[in-house]
Structure 1
Amino acid sequence: MGFNPKIADELEKSMKALPGYFTLKDQFPGDKGMVDMTLHFKKSGQSDNYSFNKFEVTAGKVPPTVENQQYMVISADKDKPDKFLVKNFDSPNEALDFFKKQKGTSELAVGESVEAKQNLASMKDGKVNFINPDFRQAYFSPAVSQTFYLKDGKGFSASQAANLVQDRTVFRNDMMTRDGDSYKAWIRLDFDVKKDDFGNHKFKQFHHPTYGFDMEKTLNAYKIKELAEPEKKAEIIKAMSNGDRVAVTATGKDGKETKVMAEVVPRYGKLNFFSEKGAALKREQFTKTATVNNTQSQSKSQSQDKTQQQGQSRGIR
C-alpha cells in the first residue's frame, strides 16, 4: 500500500499482544504541511488474524517542525494553579486540533522544549487572545480529511490518498462496477458538493478513455525539457498518473529554462505549474502555442454527465 517501512515493524509489535483493535500513525510530506495517516487494524473474532480495512488521511497547512523540535500544547493545571501540563505532538495537525478544543488557559507552541519555544497561539478561559501573524493562515485554514476503505488489500495507496486530500487527481486501472466489470478512471475528491453521511467527500470519476483525456497529448502541449528523453517521459507519466506533483524543467516564452513543479488536471485537460516554493504559475508561459489545445475536453462537454460518475466514499476502493 506504499506506507513507510517503519509501519511493518510497528504492526508486528502491536499484534504480538493480540489486542482486539489498534491504530498506527504515518506521515507524508505535503505541499503546505504534513499529511497525517491513521491506519486501523481489527482482530478477527475467530482467529489471530488482523484485517486492515481503512485508513484516515488529513492534510493541513501547519508547517512541519525542523529537527529536534516538537509542537506542544501547554495548559494550566486545574489542581495545581502554579503548574502547567505539557502535551507533545508528532503531528502538527493533531496539535492544532487539540489546542482548539481546549476550554481554559492554553498555549500552542513549537520548539525543542518549554523553555525554548515559540508561541503560535494562546487562549484564556477558552477564548483565543493571540495568534502569531506568521501562523494565521495555517490556523484558519481548515484541514482536509478523508477515510479510505480497502477490500482484500486493494484500494488507494498511501501516496494516492495523500494526493487526493491535496486536491489532485489519480488514475486507477483496477476499478470495478457493482456488477463486477472492470474499468479505468481518473478520480478526484469532489469538494464542490456536500459530504456524505459519514463525513467523507464524494469521489468524482472521469472514465478512461470515454472522457477523452490524453496524457501524452496534454504533456506535449508544453515546453518541458525532460519529455525529450523517453525514460524520463515515462517516469513523469507514471508519477502524474499517481497524482504526484513532479519536478520538471520548463521553457518560458522568453526562452529561459526554469525548474518548476507540475501536476496534471484531467478534468480540464491541462497541467498546473508551481514554483519550487509552491506559488502558482501561469501555465500559458510554458505552452508551445498561445493556449493549450483542449479540444479533447471540449468535445466531451455535452456528455460529461454520462462520463463523470460520483461514487459514495464508502463504496469506492
Structure 2
Amino acid sequence: MMNTQNLDYLKSNLKYFGFGERLNESLESEIKAQKNEFKLTCEIPHFNNKMNFTLHFKKSGSSDMYFFNKYDAVLTNGKPELDKEQVFYINKGIGITAKEAFNLLEGRSVKKELIGKDGEKYEAWIKVDFNSPDEKSGFKLQQFSEKYGYNLEKAISNYPIKELSDPEQKRNLLSSLEKGNLQQVVIDKDNKETKFYIEAVPQYKNINIYDSKQRSVKRQNVEKDNNDVVLKEEKALKQASKDLGEPKQSNSRKKKMSL
C-alpha cells in the first residue's frame, strides 16, 4: 500500500520548490514501486540557458514515508566548459527553489530563511563562491547574516528609482531582489527616465546596475545627486519666501536711514 498523505506532501513540496506538476506522475510511479531511493529529472529553460535538475528521494528506514532531501542543479548554455553545477540540500521543507538555484548559478545572491545546527531558524543572504570548490564537485556557499550589516532597502534608496515612490511597487521590488532576480527598474536621472536592471550585492553592501543590454553601469553615474537636491531645496525656499512677500520698510525708517 502507498502512503497517499506522504505522496500529497511530496507533490506540494515539488510545487513549492518550483517544479510544478511535471514530475507528479513519475513520483507516484516510483513510490508505488517501493524502492529504497530513486531520482527524478527535469529540464527548465531560461532564455538562452537551461537548468537540468536531478531530484533525490529516499525512503525512511523506519516507516513507509519518502523524503525529498536534495537536488543537483546544472546551468548550461551550450558550452560544456562553462557549465555550472551545484547540490542544494533541503532541510525540513526549507531550501533553495529552482528559480533561486538558477539565480545563484548565474552569480547572484539570494536571501533565505535557514536552519542552524542548533535547530534555530535565521535569515541570511547566500552566494555561490565559484573560487572555492567543495568536495562534492560543486562550490562552497558564502553566507551574509544580519550581523554582516547589509540593508537592501537602504542600498537602493541611494538611487532615484521610480518604483520606490509607490509602496506596493517598492515591496515587490525588494521581494524580487531578495529572491536573487535581475530586476528591471526605471531610474529618473536629470529629468530623464531610463530603464535599467539591478541586482542585490550583499557582499559589498550595494547593488549592481546594468543597462538595457545588460552591460555594467557605473553606480556613480545614476546615484542621486546630493548637490542637485540641495539646490532644489534652496530654490524652493527662496520661491516660498518670495511668494509670502518681503516686509516693507516704513517711510520714517527710510528717513532715519538717509540722515
Structure 2-normalised TM-score?
A: 0.72
What is residue 239 of structure 2 aligned with on the other side?
Answer: none
Work out the percentage of aligned pairs sharing the same amino acid: 34
Distance 1:249 1:25, change over 3 A: farther
Letter in 1 for 2:144: F
Partner of 1:187: 126
Would you say 1:289 and 2:218 are equivalent positions?
no
What are the equivalent positions in structure 2 for 1:219-238 lying under 5 Å apart? 219-238=156-175
Q: In structure 2, what is the Cα distance between the partners aligned to 1:41 and 1:200? A: 20
- Rounded to whole Å, the distance in 1 between the matches of 2:43 and 2:224 is 38
Shift of 1:183: 2.6
Whether 1:176 aligns to 2:115 is yes
Bigger Rg, which one? 2
Q: Contact between 1:31 and 1:278, CA under 8 Å: does it hold in 2?
A: no
Give me the CA root mean square deviation. Answer: 2.3
Partner of residue 149 from structure 1, selected from 86, 89, 103: 89
- Return the TM-score normalized by structure 1: 0.60
Three-state SS of the structure 1 residue aligned to 2:101 is helix
Q: Is the 8 A contact 1:28 1:162 kept in 2?
A: no
| Cα offset, 1:24, TM superposition | 2.0
Counterparts of 2:60 and 2:196, CA distance in 1: 48
TM-aligned CA distance change 1:281 to 1:27, over 3 Å: farther
Q: State the AA in 2 paired with 1:40.
A: H
When residues 223 and 51 of structure 1 are mapped into structure 2, their CA distance, relative to the original with a 3 A threshold, is: same
Judged with a 3 Å threshold, the aligned counterparts in structure 2 of structure 1 residues 57 and 276 are, in CA distance, closer, same or farther, namely farther
Is the CA contact (8 Å cut-off) linking 2:70 and 2:90 kept in structure 1? yes
Q: Hey, what's the Cα distance between the residues in 2 that align with 1:27 and 1:276?
A: 28
Match of 1:244 in 2: 181
1:51 aligns with 2:51: no
Give 2:100's match in structure 1, choosing from 160, 179, 189. Answer: 160
**Partners in 1 of 2:45 and 2:211 — Cα distance?**
17
Rounded to whole Å, the distance in 2 between the matches of 1:184 and 1:258 is 33
1:22-57: per-residue Cα shift (whole Å, max 9, x none)? Answer: 322233444651122211122345544222111011
Q: Please give the per-residue CA displacement for 1:202-251, whole angstroms capped at 9, x wherever unaligned.
A: 1111110x211111111111121111110010011111111111121223
Q: Secondary structure at the match of 1:205?
A: strand
Per-residue deviation, residues 136-189 of structure 1 (Å, max 9, x unmatched): xx35x42111001112222222222221111111112x3233233433211111
CA deviations 1:111-131 (Å, max 9, x no partner) are xxxxxxxxxxxxxxxxxxxxx
1:276 CA displacement? 4.2
**Residues of 2 paired with 1:182 and 1:46: CA distance?**
27
Aligned-partner residue type, residue 36 of structure 1: N
How far apart are the structure 1 equivalents of 2:120 and 2:92? 17
Structure 1 match to 2:58: 42
Query: 1:98 matched to which residue of 2?
Result: none
Gaps of 5+ in 2: 1-15, 227-259
Letter in 2 for 1:185: A
Q: Which has the higher contact order (CA 8 A, sep 6+)?
A: 1
Misfit runs of 4+, over 6 Å: none
- Give the letter aligned to residue 280 of structure 1: S
